[in-house]
Chains A and B, each alone.
Chain A
């Protein structure tokens, strides 16, 4: 019995060690590359531990000079933030009142929810062509605001779905007593539902931010220069060039990962609860 138990714990710890290596090794290597000197990364066989810590790639990417790589990168960082914020703001403004109706009056207009979930499943190429022609005609290409509007195709259905699930879990009795006090729809939403919804709203906003931060397809199509280009496009361009500044590419990747990874670590529990809540109850 004791032997069986010790074999079990050896196997358990072996599996855990394998898992930890699998989870962190690729990203750890990206971080190591970003702090290596360029010629440390072009050795054969590879030099696993850099000869010295070299932060020149970060300096290169984060220093603004006219028409420098840094200028484009810093602009992309700012554009990615602006676009993600705007898309999430528009989506939340549009979805909170709608989700309230869909939750409290499930019979009415329930097709709206079906349509929203359905569009979540369609590929972006289904909308991209007319959107491209429309933005070209209006002269709205390469513009953070119009990119944010386009991001609503992804973010908005997701927000309606999760926010409706969350309003479902707020007891209707609270609103009923407010009605008895003579509260109208606006007061019921703003004073009764909103305070209880805020934590969930925060979670949904963070998840939606990560989604928008991650988006590549529309950004590739609709943005091209420093006015609106986003980080994923800049990073993919860095990597697709023939250059061998591997440390620079790695540093770009590390910088772009920092906000979502920090959010992930800080809000892990809430994020997972938000994701799981979406569908399990159905």
Chain B
């Protein structure tokens, strides 16, 4: 009976394991194998085994270290901005005011706009000659001359981050708002009767209630942000002077622009290892809290 049961489970799991093995498991192993060779994009000559040479070169490559810094800074800035802005907006939309349902419905707009569309939209807004941002700031008297937002080394990354926050804060806000709506009014009323001020009510009732769902939003956003590729690539291609080149863009360029597959794979593996360390810290943090 037991063995018959086991067969059933395996059969039901089989389609998923098959698909996962084909498009996830096998390529991941192959990436590791590739990283130990000097394979080129076009197989002109047979690749040879080079051991850990790619990794040693990779860890000493200043360009790659800079790209890791770009990814780290990007993740840190956008995720913290999105968490703060998203929580603030959720609190605002939980207050009673006229037209609240309409504004709540609008909140889904930035989330629903595809990432590439968001990228080209902000590219048009940031356009150095005819962009809306320059024109608006100039007409309001904030600017004396037009600025090349995506073309200058010190502004490009910040401009891209601003565009990312516009799209993704709305996810945090929607998750936080959904959680606020499950907070019973009676708790807040009871605290008011006990003489708790607005800050105390937020600190001791609202925030603890919000934290589990904010944690979900935080994890989802960090996972997305550390592997950022598309919004930066469409807006700047990693330029100017590689100032917006993230780790994912670096790997892509190494493997497909410079045609060095082996070395690109090694960079990908380094990136994966760093993300695994990040996940391990998160899981450890969770299990410590449960104790």
Contact = CB atoms under 8 A, between A and B. Distances in A.
Interface stretch (B11-19, B55-63, B199-207): B11-19
Contact of A153 (B24, B138, B213, B275): B24
Contacts of A102: 13
Contact of B117 (A119, A120, A185, A253): A253
Interface in A130-149: 130-134, 149
Contacts of B124: 30, 33, 239, 246, 249-250
Interface in B95-133: 95, 97, 99, 103, 105-117, 119-125, 127, 129-130, 132
A1 interface: no
A198 interface: no
B117 A23 contact: no
Interface string B216-250: 10011001001101100110010000000001100
Contacts of A134: 27, 30
A123, A124, A261, A264, most chain B CB atoms within 10 A: A123
Contact of A46 (B116, B135, B174): B135
Interface stretch (B75-83, B186-194, B263-271): B263-271
A229 interface: no
Contacts of A276: 175, 178-179, 213, 216
A12, A118, A128, A250, most chain B CB atoms within 10 A: A128
B122 A130 contact: no
B117 A124 contact: no
Contacts of B212: 280
B177 to A, nearest CB: 8
A46 B112 contact: no
Interface string A263-279: 11100100111011011
Interface in A90-122: 90-91, 93-95, 97-98, 100-102, 105, 108-109, 112, 115-116, 118-122
Contacts of B9: 101, 105, 108-109
A109 B113 CA distance: 37
Given A27-B109, A129-B265, A279 B219 contact: yes
Contacts of A162: none
Contacts of B247: 123
A153 to B, nearest CB: 5
Contacts of A108: 6, 9
Given A129-B261, A264-B109, A118 B279 contact: yes
Contact of B23 (A16, A22, A116, A131): A131
Nearest to B262: A129
Contacts of B24: 119, 127, 153
A129 B20 contact: no
Nearest to B134: A46
B52 interface: no
B114 A156 contact: no
B26 A232 contact: no
Nearest to B30: A130
Interface stretch (A66-74, A167-175, A214-222): A214-222
Contacts of A180: none
A44 B129 contact: yes
Contacts of B99: 16
A187 B275 CA distance: 42
Given A98-B15, A256-B116, A46 B130 contact: yes
14 contacts: A13-B97, A23-B103, A23-B106, A23-B109, A26-B121, A44-B130, A97-B13, A128-B255, A129-B265, A149-B22, A152-B19, A232-B116, A235-B117, A261-B108
Given A27-B113, A90-B19, A249-B124, 13 more contacts: A16-B103, A33-B124, A44-B135, A108-B6, A123-B272, A127-B27, A129-B264, A217-B248, A244-B130, A257-B117, A264-B108, A272-B178, A280-B213
10 smallest CB-CB distances across A and B, nearest first, come from A130-B30, A123-B227, A264-B112, A97-B12, A46-B135, A98-B16, A279-B216, A232-B116, A127-B27, A94-B15
